[in-house]
Structure 1
């Protein structure tokens, strides 16, 4: 059965004021009667609520007192009266009597008709679903007011716990606590909170969808999770104690309405996070494009976004493979591509946290960029990095694949620019090899690779001008001279080492070197001549390889 207190969520009643008899607001209400006649007591009974303008008592306050005494004797609910219509104010004698009898007298604003308020109350009393809807709307309005006024998430969760008279938690999509009601401030409840979070994390998939489980620490009391949708791929979760036995009318509909307002608040907070993310990405863009004036500014702004000094930094670039039927069909819908990239960003953040990696996530154009920091990058860290990438690919890839380019370590924050370009080059190299869903580590180009990109005619000219008559050895002696030069340079111009490798006397080596220097007009101990000769010999092997492949 409903009480007077329960009626204040209804239209008209929620704007009313209790003038007297506050202790009687717990009186039950079963029926509503409208009357302005002096003999209305004949038509009243137990748990009846009287709605009146007070016209019958405007000139006889004593008669009003007698009516209140009789209604109290009948165990009536109370009186709702339009004070401003005829009485203007509640007489002191009536107020004292009502307070003494704990008989509630409620002032109804004149803008509401008695018939309108009566209809709302009767519908509420006679229809369980309507009652639930009224209560849900009441909860929704209260929470909406709090959201508009900028109340914190902790305040919203505290208010929900108050409405439901149940301990209440709000967890993010990873099962981490965002806010809790005051119940969890007690030392004993902190242990319970840890057990709940552990249970949720053990089965995140079901918890995000909504499930009920029990915990031994509270005598197997039931705990229920309710999904709270946000802009993220996975929902946050409301966790409520013993929701299956919530007192009427604390229905699931009311929980859902509160959840909707909490959802909007979370989305607002995420919008603020996105703005912070934009500023962070602007810093990274300025760092890579070398638009930050001083090293001091680089360090200051880098520290603000989590980049620590005196650490080994690895840059890892990740992107969605832009090939394949699934990606091409996604491209038809720009919104879906945007949602996909936002989802991947969130999941990369999750992987960083779950793998306990020191990393800062940025975006630049179509790339997700992670700067991973290690005190001293070594073999163990290399294994950690590899496992992290494997976990990312396993947990994130779905109807699409993602690939990674990884840089060499750099020590200074200002050198992250170099690391970024290395990571991008490693990624592009993988695509040049027609790979998908790959991990490619940066390797500096060898001299042979660099020379291969030079036009053949230029290579040939440099080769012939350096080796002259030995460029195309015809006799056995010329072939031996070229071989001796190669081994001599590889042995760092050590005659004894060259002699040992060629199985000839050291004087023979000395003779051949002197003769070759005279023929080519150079000195192998001169750094410039030595480098020029080394390059020429490499060009010779490239030209021979090209001829054999032709």
Structure 2
């Protein structure tokens, strides 16, 4: 008994028509059912019921003259046979006009192939010929499918991997082979030699293919009842046959085995990568040379300057549920970084992405600018609909200084978020004096300095509901330019001069005093830290 379902491995009505072409058989109705599977053939009996023991999938053969002797009509018989699951009906008749128009109309409506045979056809010979063809056809299809499946298994054993298995399938069937993961994203594409790779989006629909006159047949890939992806054969709409469906069913267990292997290998490699990455950013390793060698084995050259960048979700964003498209934010950042930054090392965690980015420009200032600009481009492409921030440490010229860059990236995130909010890139190198002030926030000497320097203005603004602090900050922001400050604050120049005079009066110092101006500017920076 065949190990393959007859409905898949059997010949089609189209094949039977080709077989009977030498007997002048012609299709007169039901062309939409040419791909129906023919599993057997049977002739009409000389007494009612005209056909008995119909199992489905048969080619029913009858002579119109004999049907009339049984006092049966062709339309009624066709309806009965179609309901019983017969694949097609062959009628021996003088010509097309001898067939009832109602029978032809029914066959077309139901896509039920109706074949006209010459009136003098030997139905017994046709029956034997079709049965012999169907049996041998099924055996040949199964032999070919088994042969291809055996070769695919051999490739798997030899370590060809998913790509190697798909490449062979693409060449042997001259069709594109696509493997998608459980979320529908394309993971592997194999292209036949006679074609170019398909330009596919990350995930695509049947409509996308139909617009290009292509279609696909697809089978799910399962591991222990879990659907982990799918494999598709893609080709022109008129260029598919049943053998390809059988082959696709045969290749699925091979791919399931490969996916299971990759999962296991990936889990081991991922644990090793995470451990190495964590050791590097924390500095918890025994030997620098040993750690550099370990990184090289993993494919990363840490002998060159590196910088640490951290992308992190906003604190108010709850954890995403599994299956939520937004949960893929980390993968998107990783893909963007890998595309834009050759040799980068990335670790994706639940709420953040850590990256070691090679810094190749010779001049350190230029390197910082280049890195910041490149990250800005990546950030603009990924920070859409998912509130997150990015912190960047200073460039680490040696392996030993990478932990410092990591701590700086963390610090930049903490300070930048508090001072400037979410959704921005915060570079430690650009924080300036805030690096010192933030570190000293809460220190008694810092607080005393702040109160002594700005105390009178703070008290005045709280009592009078005025904005002398804001005026002073704007004045320094405009480098003491009165006209620019007045324009920035939408004030008349005289109103600005009055406020500045009031500030000098309250503080008891002239704003022309360089040392006092420095103290005021530092105190205003402390004020910004306190405000947050």
TM-score (norm 2): 0.48
Which has the larger Rg?
Answer: 1
